[in-house]
Structure 1
Amino acid sequence: MKKYLLVLLFTLACFCPGQNVFAQTFNDIQDHWAKGYISQLSDANVIRGYPDGTFKPEGNITRAEFTKALVLSRGLPLKPTVNPTFTNVGAYHWCYPYVESAIAAGIIVPDEYVQTAFIPDEPITRVEAAIFLSRSLGLAEGSGFTGFDDGNQIPVEFRGYIRAVKERGLIAGYPDGTFRPWNPISRAEASTILVRYMYEQGKGKGLVTISYDHQFSSVFENAFPLHKAYGYPGVNYVCTSSVGSEGAMTVKQLKEMEDAGWETASHSANHLHFKDLDEKGIRDQLERSKQWLKQYSLTGENFAYPFRFAAAPNPLVREYYNSGATSYDKQINVKPFNSYKLSRYYLQKPGEEEIKEVLDKTVAEGGWTIFYTHNVYKGNQTPDDKSINQDTLQFLFDEIAKRNMQVVTVKQGLQLMSR
């Protein structure tokens, strides 16, 4: 068979969304460069390791493993035939139904294989993986130029596939400008490609919400202009009794932000710790904040629990608000989710790699990340440990834009995630 597909091969070989698999912790990736990507895919239950707890990041992926993962990742129906297409992939082979399904989908073309031998247990090559990937995404092959210095090593009829995945940033070459088409692909390399591939194939591109606690005036002064420049709405979780006080936003400013598409939600009336209150005290905080928001015709449909505690008073919040968002967490909301236990991702002076990783993971999981912070400092000023500055916020917005992710309010996110 003509060898041509490797990079994406392993990527998909590890992608098994159709299985209910628990995320794994691997004992051999602690210091590996691809740890972040591998962990993201494991957390999303799309990649698996071995019984001994290893991942073997430098190991290769076979054609059979890749084909099964590719079929599962695309959600293709299994179409085993009565008469096997390949001489060495009979009905006895575990990958038989996946290979036949890939053939039916036009991903694998039998005539490209010598004497109809698929050789399922050999490592897949970078060029073969690229071809499978391009075909699975319906990318055009109309180009005789790969964009790599060693493209002349690839049959002309396959060069367009290589160029297509290169242009979409799915498969990178090497520093010397080569693609090395006949090399196998490592499990680590495949993990990075899989994150990109899952986005490209349109699997739940993910939602993002940007929220701010405590109605600090810096949000109006320093964050709101950036939101308007990017066209992104935001959410203000306000302690209603403090609106208009020194250092806080005014009702007029909150209304101006709502006119621009923002949402105003409650962070309680006085920011008291619910664990220290009895039912009457909690109801007082909930009702007073709800009535205040209603009085000023602000959105007021959702709520964020003040402080961290083990058992959120969901039944009480449910009587006053449509959702309850937790504080201090760094988690992504995925279906099915409890609208009264929405997780928020705390932006505490985050690094650029942390921001990129959580956005990639949100895309991979098709989830919803609700970021939150307190103050927004000007430019590159050093923020306090509960806040960020404008440079960090702009970097976050740029990364969201690169991934073409949808930025929503909590109200909008609840509607979209409940469909």
Structure 2
Amino acid sequence: MSSPAPAAAPAAAPAAAPDQQQPAFRGVFGFIGGAVAKAVSTTFIVLVVAAFVAQHVLDAKKTIIDAKTHSPEIVQARMLARFEAGSVIPPFEKYHVNRPEAVAMLQGVLRPALLKDYTVVIGEVGCGKTTAVLDAIRANSTGIVYHIVGAELPVDVPKRLAGSLAFAFNRFTFTAGYFKDRSVEMEQVTSAEEPFKSWAILELGLRDVAAQFKAKHGHVATLVIDAVDEIAQQGPALLHVIQDFAKAAADKQLLNVVLVTSDGSTLPELKESSAMTRARVVEVGDLTDQQAVTYLVRRDIHEDLAKRAVAEIAGGRLILLNNLADDLLFKTVEQIFLEFHIGTRGALRRLFGDLAQISPPVSSTFCRLCRGAQHVDDVEEALGLDLTKKLLATNTNILAYHPDETYTLHSRHVQRSVAALLNCTRP
């Protein structure tokens, strides 16, 4: 009997259709994607937190560094270092004129053996006053800070001066304790208007540093502020505050303050301050005629022509000599003088009108000035104080004031012009 045939193998299950396979793949990839997303999210959060913490740490460090960098002690240390190093003075100019007498006088002003008062240095515009001051500092600038006022507004003057002193205005200075330690109420300073607020803070720093310098070196430091007439022209209030500080510093033998003004017309403003009672006024005058001729010869002007130009136009006024060195290359002495003469005549006509109608007392005063210096009382009595001030103004340049209480005519060409216009003759 034959064996039964083996049973047929069950048929394989049909392959799943593609749309039946996707749920499985989706499940796998969904799981992986979720894990990755979770990991990325966690990493992002960690990075954000780390960045926040890092920034917080940096901010904290910056605050500490700022506090150390801008603390009053550090600010004052920088200012002390500036005084100890002294201001950097530029080298001599190409056509430099040696003025040993003026430089020696100014060196005595800059380094007084005994500080009794502050100093006001005056000199007509263009006389070489600033150059002489820089020459006096250049030999040894240690302990001397030099600052020249520009054409800035008064509100900016203390801040520009602070820059020359390496003094930084900052929030750490404005603390009640800082002011209290110096017997000053914080409200007095913080409520003040500018520029007086900035000046008050700078002044406190200056006092501290001046005391430190004197204790360390055994002598006072010197602060030179040049062109203070720029401050006076926009209102004398700040100038008077600076004068008060200069006087107080001299009274306490704390700091030698030297104020330089570009012409004598600023002196009336300076004298309005009671602090002027402790000021010593010194003058940087013009070059001698021989120095002036030597200067022009060095500028390639023939000696005979240089002598005429000095005698008839410039005298020893350095700014005029500078201009002459160029003008004489293409103009004659007569042509140059005529230009100045027209300017002087115009200035006098603006003040007096018809020059033929000038009163005899005024005319005779001008003629005496043509011959030399006259005492201030005689000139002011004859001309009147208001007219005298107008003649001193830099936009007129007819009169010049001198510390020995005299007036002269402003320059050599003004003397010649006035003598010709008013028919002055020598006695």
Give TM class, smaller chain: under 0.3
TM-score, with normalisation over the residues of structure 2? 0.23
Say which structure is richer in helix. 2
Q: Structure 1 length as normaliser, TM-score?
A: 0.23
Larger Rg computed on CA atoms: 2
